């Protein structure tokens, strides 16, 4: 029934020649028939080659740089059932140097992206399963009705915004960044394939990472050798469609030049990456690592860059770790990760520099929170535990035990297309 209702026309908006009323009357969102088809084609063309990771990048791509302040004023008045404010009208006029359909399409796209990304990002951050836009409106012979979108996490029907995929990506980036600035640390489990990732998401984890050891070992590759680039990228592309933020361990960039790594990060469609200063031959200097960090942040500013500092598990003193952390943050790193970090005083010192990621294990999330930690990841723990459980289960079968496992049907359900919801 909902599908039929969503196929009904959107309510008519009166024509006008200025302000929000002009914008409403000129965009694809509030038009029908041939007019809708023409405007949709125009809108789709405007974003067909756009690869933005932030709203600022999207605004620039739409020839509206620096416009987000005005967009924020327009958004509360954009929907036809909302009152138009003088501030919103003035904001439209500042952006509409020409009152034509293409200008309206650019502004309308950005308004809808602004509203959608903020709403969806907050839902992703808090784990709220409700759609960010709960209802839409359609015209019937008996008047305007409200149609629930409860079964459609991010829009649906012929009037859904053509920029939905792009807005979803930006929303995931925003949500993932916000997860590093909460009172409670982000608990980040690390998957090694599609099935482990969707199982973790289904268990209620709001963001998923990957483990380089798990990805490497599952493909017969020794971790830390920089040889799992193809496998890591293939997994990242699969996981980018999940309805939650995903961050991927790219080791040190698999030997690629900084600009090549930056281009890769921008094109993966994921919310975060890990890059480490360890190499197969040892640590690189901060002077070598900083250009890689800067290149990635310049090309993909919305992707959360967690920089792993490999000093601690090479037995190097905290002073050098701190110096590296400061250099990396100055180069653009959004967060730092120091595996092997366990001493409370050391943790507190580094947590004051940037959102700090530590490995789960020796201290509780509450203890780490009190030390200033913002992210607790499982690293390779889950993969190693799964491997051990696999062997234990096989032994139980051999020895007459009763092994515990997901059912066949449960696994099929986990990896069904339905797990890649419209928020993905």
pLDDT at 424: 46
Distance CA 141, CA 154 (A): 27
pLDDT at 421: 44
pLDDT at 162: 81
List the chain domain ranges: 2-170, 180-387
pLDDT tens figures, 64-90: 999 999 999 999 999 999 999 999 999
pLDDT at 222: 95
CB 305 within 8 A of CB 298: no
pLDDT at 243: 92
Just give the CATH number of 180-387: 3.20.20.60
CB 161 within 8 A of CB 112: yes
Buried b or exposed e, range 27-57, using 16+ CB within 10 angstroms: bbbbbeeeebeebbebbeebbeeebbbbbbb
Residue 29 gets which letter from DSSP?
Answer: G
CB 312 within 8 A of CB 340: yes
Q: Rounded to the nearest 10 degrees, what angle do helices 381-399 and 194-202 cross at?
A: 100
Residues in the chain where the model's pLDDT stays below 70 = 1, 152-157, 417-424
């Amino acid at each position: 029934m909902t599908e039929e209702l969503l196929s009904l026309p959107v309510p008519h908006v009166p024509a006008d020649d200025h302000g929000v009323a002009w914008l409403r009357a000129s965009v694809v969102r509030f038009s029908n028939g041939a007019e809708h088809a023409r405007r949709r084609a125009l809108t789709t063309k405007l974003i067909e080659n756009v690869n933005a990771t932030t709203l600022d990048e999207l605004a620039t791509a739409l020839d509206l740089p620096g416009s987000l302040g005005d967009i924020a004023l327009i958004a509360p008045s954009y929907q036809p059932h909302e009152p138009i404010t003088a501030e919103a009208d003035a904001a439209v006029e500042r952006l509409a140097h020409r009152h034509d359909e293409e200008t309206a399409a650019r502004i309308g796209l950005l308004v809808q992206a602004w509203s959608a990304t903020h709403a969806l990002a907050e839902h992703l951050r808090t784990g709220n399963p409700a759609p960010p836009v709960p209802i839409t409106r359609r015209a019937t012979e008996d008047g305007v009705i409200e149609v629930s979108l409860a079964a459609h996490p991010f829009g649906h029907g012929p009037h859904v915004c053509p920029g939905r995929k792009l807005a979803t990506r930006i929303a995931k980036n925003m949500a993932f960044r916000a997860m590093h600035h909460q009172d409670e640390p982000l608990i980040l489990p690390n998957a090694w394939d599609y099935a482990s990732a969707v199982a973790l998401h289904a268990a209620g984890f709001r963001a998923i990472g990957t483990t380089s050891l798990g990805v490497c070992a599952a493909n017969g590759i020794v971790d830390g050798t920089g040889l799992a680039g193809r496998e890591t990228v293939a997994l990242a592309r699969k996981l980018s469609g999940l309805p939650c933020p995903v961050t991927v361990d790219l080791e040190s960039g698999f030997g690629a030049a900084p600009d090549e790594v930056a281009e890769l990060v921008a094109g993966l469609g994921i919310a975060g990456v890990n890059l480490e200063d360890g190499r197969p031959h040892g640590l690189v200097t901060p002077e070598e690592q900083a250009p890689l960090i800067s290149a990635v942040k310049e090309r993909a500013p919305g992707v959360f860059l967690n920089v792993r500092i490999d000093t601690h598990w090479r037995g190097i003193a905290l002073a050098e770790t701190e110096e590296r952390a400061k250099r990396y943050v100055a180069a653009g790193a959004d967060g730092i990760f120091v595996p092997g970090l366990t001493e409370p005083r050391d943790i507190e010192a580094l947590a004051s520099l940037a959102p700090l990621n530590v490995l789960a294990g020796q201290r509780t999330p509450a203890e780490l929170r009190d030390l200033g930690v913002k992210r607790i990841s499982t690293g390779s723990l889950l993969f190693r535990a799964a491997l051990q459980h696999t062997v234990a289960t096989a032994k139980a079968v051999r020895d007459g035990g009763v092994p515990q496992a997901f059912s066949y049907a449960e696994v099929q359900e986990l990896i069904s297309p339905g797990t890649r919801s419209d928020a993905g």
